[in-house]
Amino acid sequence: MLAYLSVPFPQVEQHLARLPEEGAITLASEDSDGQSLVLIAEYRGGLSHITLIDPETRGASFGFDLLAQQSMTEEVAFLRSMMSHAPFLAWRERENGDVIWANTAYLLRAGDLLPPGQELTWPLPRLFDRTATVQGVDGQRQKLRFPDGSVLWFELVSMPDGDGRRVYALRADSAVQAETNLRDFMQTLTKTFAHLPIALAIFDSRRQLQLFNPALLDLTGLPPDFLSLRPSLLSVLDALRDRNMVPEPKDYRGWRRQITDLERAASTGVYEETWNLPGGQTYRVIGRPHPNGALALMIEDISTEITRTRRYRADLELGQSVIDTMEEAMAVFSETGLLVMTNASYPKLWGHDPAEDLAGGGIASVSRMWRTQTAPSALWSEVEDFVCTVGDREAWSGDARLLDGRLISCKLTPLAGGATLVGFRVHVAAAEEAPASPPDRRSA
């Protein structure tokens, strides 16, 4: 009360504090509009009696309260202003669907939908399907299509109001556009995933399957109806185990522990493993974390790649075993002059195993070793030049004598990719003198 009275009577609190001493006080106030109020306060029997009088209505009938009426008038004006300037559509309708009240936003939209030259009539025209408002479910989406082809989306919120309903329509264009963009993006991702040869399965934070591509069906053999039920990660892995599509552990308890380790490792982004399946296939399984605790599981069939790698390795081992059976010592240098291969006879002839330092076995260091074990000869300089020559070359040979007197024949043969094969054969007649080094036999 003091907060209200202090506006027209700034010193009212100090006056009322002296009321028990003075017994009665009278205050008058005049606001900027020229309207005056009179406050009469009396102290009787320990009680303070306060009367607020408007002189203009002093002779009015009993019960007439101008202040209450003024307050209600101001409140009504405020509420009307609020609804008139509200950015949303609001209206009231009867049970039969007649719109009996609407705010300014509703009237403006109704006017935009009227044919040219036609005015608003009573009852007001309906903008939305009545079924949506009668159902009373919040968040229903409705759209308005205008004569110029533009479309506006709204979310309807309705509630009972006496013999009718109050309905509010909130703009939902941004939400509809965002949902459309998300749907288009998901369709693009789905089409992209559909052509991937890698199986993809995305699980949410609760480890329920949310998205998968057709490659998952092809690689795992899981039925589509099972995956469409959004099974859990453990259910999917159990189904794979039943179809022998996962490495089989010795016991089921170990299998469960392995699945727990898989989920924990994938959630931190460190799970990557190769599964050698009982059927002979080889799968690479990768688990990666996604935002909001989701998990992506990718399965790739690398059987062909593993087979090709094994075959390549077998071919290398076969080639190595073939040249190891030859009595002639052999060394192969790459195009850049690095020693890449020798046979079993090579270390027997030269007394060292180049496999220990293949990374540093260039033609310069290897020929330096050859010089230390043979008589002085220009042959090794010719060998270095031939190995490092780029372009067309022709095979040639030369002789050198070891320090123990044996005569060896050195034959250089160009290989594919710029590589060079250097072969060494010990002559039976070791007493012969070593011939002079041959001239440069490389082609121009």
Per-residue pLDDT, averaged over 257-266, amounts to 70
Asked whether residue 321 carries a pLDDT value surpassing 90, the answer given is no
Mean pLDDT of 168-174: 87
Instruction: Enter the DSSP assignment of 427.
Output: -
Rounded Cα distance between 289 and 297, Å, is: 9
- 3-class secondary structure, 358: helix
- Enter the DSSP assignment of 291: G
User: Does position 172 have pLDDT exceeding 90, yes or no?
Assistant: no
Mean pLDDT of 362-377: 89
Alpha-carbon distance 207 to 298, whole Å?
Answer: 15
Bigger pLDDT: 433 or 197? 197
Tokens of 348: 């027997």
Confidence of residue 407 (pLDDT cuts 50, 70, 90): very high
φ, ψ for residue 436 (rounded to 5)?
-65, 155
**Distance separating alpha carbons of residues 276 and 279, to the nearest angstrom:** 8
Residue 214: CB atoms within 10 Å: 14
Range 24-30 average pLDDT = 85
Predicted pLDDT of residue 36 = 77
User: What's the CA gap between 137 and 155, in Å, rounded?
Assistant: 10
- Taking only the tens place, the pLDDT of each residue in 47-77 is 899 988 876 665 544 445 666 777 788 888 8
Residue 444 has pLDDT above 50, yes or no: no
- pLDDT for the residue 430: 45
Whether pLDDT at 253 is above 80: no
Stretch among 57-61, 120-124, 382-386 having the lowest mean pLDDT: 57-61
In this predicted model, what pLDDT tens digit does every residue of 144-170 receive, in sequence order?
A: 888 888 888 988 888 888 888 888 888
* pLDDT in the model for residue 413: 92
Contact 179, 99 (CB under 8 A): no
Q: Which of 10-14, 136-140, 146-150, 249-253 has the highest mean pLDDT?
A: 10-14
Q: What is the pLDDT of residue 41?
A: 93
pLDDT score of 399: 92
Span 349-373, average pLDDT: 79
176 vs 36 pLDDT, higher one: 176
**Tokens representing residue 216 in the block:** 């998952």
pTM of the model: 0.47
Q: pLDDT > 90: what percent of the chain? A: 11
d(CA 67, CA 135): 43
Say how far apart CA 380 and CA 1 lie, in whole Å.
116
Q: Average model confidence (pLDDT) for the chain?
A: 82
Distances (CA, A) of 311 to 284, 318, 329, 366, 417: 19, 10, 26, 31, 21
| Confidence label for 255 from pLDDT (cuts 50, 70 and 90) | low
